[in-house]
Chains A and B, each alone.
Chain A
Amino acid sequence: DIVMTQSQKFMSTSVGDRVSITCKASQNVRSAVVWYQQKPGQSPKALIYLASNRHTGVPDRFTGSGSGTDFTLTISNVQSEDLADYFCLQHWNYPYTFGGGTKLEMK
């Protein structure tokens, strides 16, 4: 199975900051990576697909980059509503696998 590693379990930020959340795949997954945001009691919301494409309606402060094994989700000008859990998903190979998640918290 492909392991998706999000090494930062928690990240602290302030409104207006720029933060980067990383995800490393144990094998080459090309660009088959999705980034999700999840708030308490809600289902995950897709932000970025195919590593770098923003889903419809996602603010442009969310940017995805990377290919192969290293991926990054960058949030510029963090807003209070961005405090949430963020997960990466690889859908290149079965079984699809998720990163362990990064919780974005306020300093």
Chain B
Amino acid sequence: QVQLLQSGPDLVRPGTSVKISCKASGYAFTNYWLGWIKQRPGHGLEWIGDTYPGSGNTYYNEKFKGKATLTADKSSSTAFMQLSSLTSEDSAVYFCARMSHYGMDYWGQGTSVTVSS
């Protein structure tokens, strides 16, 4: 069965970076786009961008350009999102999700990032 297993919660200092991982199993990793979504209380869900592991192609929401960098490692079927220059506005739960013709059909369990000094 399709599974997306994300890395654990992170507590990070303002101004630093964090890298979240999303390990895929149960499907052909290189054949599907893999998206990232941010969720904060009171701010709903925001699509950050997605990457196609088969080619390395990536699309970003303009709002997150310069903030998020999406990569993927085909050898380990793992996607990564690095968030840089962190502020309190980046404190959120981040999800990865497989993207098919039917939308984001399978989601990871979420990774909580807390930015605090």
Contacts and interface: CB of A to CB of B under 8 A. Distances in A.
Q: Which of A45, A46, A53 has the most CB of B within 10 A?
A: A46
Interface string A64-107: 00000000000000000000000101010011111111000000
A34 B104 contact: yes
Interface residues of B, number: 20
Contacts of B44: 87, 98-101
Contacts, number: 54
Contact of A43 (B35, B63, B95, B102): B95
Nearest to A44: B107
Chain A's interface size range is 20 to 34
A55 B108 contact: no
A34 B35 CA distance: 15
- The SS class assigned to the B binding surface is strand
Contacts of B89: none
Interface string A18-35: 000000000000001110
- The SS class assigned to the A binding surface is loop
Interface in A45-67: 45-46, 49-50, 53, 55
Contacts of B110: 43
Contacts of B107: 43-45
A102 to B, nearest CB: 11
A89 B103 contact: yes
Nearest to B96: A43
Contacts of A89: 45, 103-104
B103 A91 contact: yes
Contact of A91 (B95, B104, B106, B109): B104
B47 A98 contact: yes
